[in-house]
Structures are given as structure tokens and as C-alpha cells.
Amino acid sequence: MPQSIENPAECEIRSVIRFLNAKVVKATEINRQISEVYGEIIMSEGMVKKWVRPFKDGRTNAHYEERSGRPSVTTEDFVQKVDAKVRENRRLTISSLSNEFPQVSRSVLCGIVTEHLNYRKLWAGGRFL
């Protein structure tokens, strides 16, 4: 039995998939071999198939590509603007903050207030400390 490899990098697993795919090994066999060496829970057969497909189509890079998704609104400047609003009126709620910053979702505002600024509710009325 092969020696088990612990904590492999994600690109290492994808490189193995690319290598075995180049040797025309089927996805189910690739998954079996990966599980044998890296452990059962390292990658599901479905994920192996998901990576085999682009390699069959000519992909050569085993790393994730940069994504051009929506830019984050949680900039230091924006966090400071939210902080200034909360300090202006400690009775502000997430709903009223949402009215002040309609371009930002309530969940993002809640994250900024609680995680970035470390404010907590004083009571159910919604005031922040």
C-alpha cells in the first residue's frame, strides 16, 4: 500500500488529475488512486470529473484562475463611513444604516458593524455599543 500524503496543496491534487488524464486514465480510476494516496475525503469523484473535463479540453494550468467577480465594498474607507454614521447616532439600526447606504446589502452592513467595528447590540432596540 502506498504511503499516505497529508495536507496536499489543492494544485497538487489537480496536477495529479492532469497527469493521469494525460495518460488517458478514467475519472473514476483517478479518484480511486487519489483517495488511495491522499485519503478518502480529499476530493469527491464529482470534483475529479469536474477537473478532468477542462483538462480534456486543453486546459494546462492546475491553479485557479483569477476571477473577475463583483468588487468588495468593504474597503477601509467605507468601514470608516459606517463607523462615523454609528458614532453620529448610537440609536441606528441595520435597517436605518441600510437606508443611509442603499448600494450595500444589509448582510454586508451587519458584517461591517459586528465584525469590522466590533459593535454589539445593547438591547433589542438595536442600539450599538
pLDDT at position 127 is 57
**DSSP one-letter code for 65:** P
**Do the beta carbons of residue 55 and residue 21 sit within 8 Å?**
yes
**Structure confidence at residue 123 (pLDDT):** 55
pLDDT value of residue 66:
67
pLDDT in tens, 59-93: 988 887 766 666 676 888 899 999 999 889 888 88
Q: What is the pLDDT of residues 26-66, one digit of tens each?
A: 999 999 999 999 888 788 899 999 999 999 999 988 887 76
The three three-digit cell numbers of residue 2, written as one number: 502506498
Decide: pTM greater than 0.75: no
